[in-house]
Chain A
């Protein structure tokens, strides 16, 4: 069963705007990861945030984690048409428990 639920399901923005996607989950986690999927391709890992971290940056990506609210957000700043893709959050628990993926947010960046 899905642990993470992304919100919104779909998002359409203009190039140069910021895109924010949210992920909520149900049980305690060890880490939360974000992945991107371009059309017709496999998922690509973007960033991982540990449960004891509150914010993490990687280039134009900013991820926050609020374990008290069981939620995370992914911010893509100054979006580009190439950022058009589906974005998935995945939660990790113990080392032997597989990641559990959400249903994803479809982001469209219009040039």
Chain B
């Protein structure tokens, strides 16, 4: 979905480095999400945000932090990367109105930690 842009698309880094993954959206959605995808495990929720002042932990938030800089921007940070954080990371957005709304995903960041 070109309306949800993730940067970088690919990143290789070393253990212990601090990494920031960025997500920006032009859909005007209030809600934004960060997921990681591992083979055979599907998508697991890391953090989510309903608006600029609202941040919530997901299923697997340990080792990660987020920042909602504006309605359109939601960044994910790995403070000190470790190899088992190697995964495909996705950002998603959703309109805040109504229960039955779909999520819109970016094309992901493939992160490899050596």
| Complexed CA–CA distance, A99 and B31 (Å) | 12
The answer to whether B59 and A1 have CB atoms under 8 Å apart is yes
Count residues of chain A with CB under 8 A from any CB of chain B: 27
B103 within 8 A of A: yes
User: Chain A residues with Cβ under 8 A from B48's Cβ?
Assistant: 98
Which of A40, A50, A98 sits near B45, CB closer than 8 Å?
Answer: A98
Q: Which of A12-20, A63-71, A77-85, A87-95 contacts B (4 or more CB under 8 A)?
A: A87-95
Which of B43, B45, B59, B107 sits near A88, CB closer than 8 Å?
Answer: B43
User: Chain A residues with Cβ under 8 A from B98's Cβ?
Assistant: 95
CB distance from B61 to the nearest CB of A (A): 12
User: Chain A residues with Cβ under 8 A from B106's Cβ?
Assistant: 42
CB distance from B30 to the nearest CB of A (A): 11
Which A residues fall within an 8 A CB radius of B? 1-2, 30-31, 33, 35, 40-45, 48, 50, 88, 90, 92, 94-96, 98-104
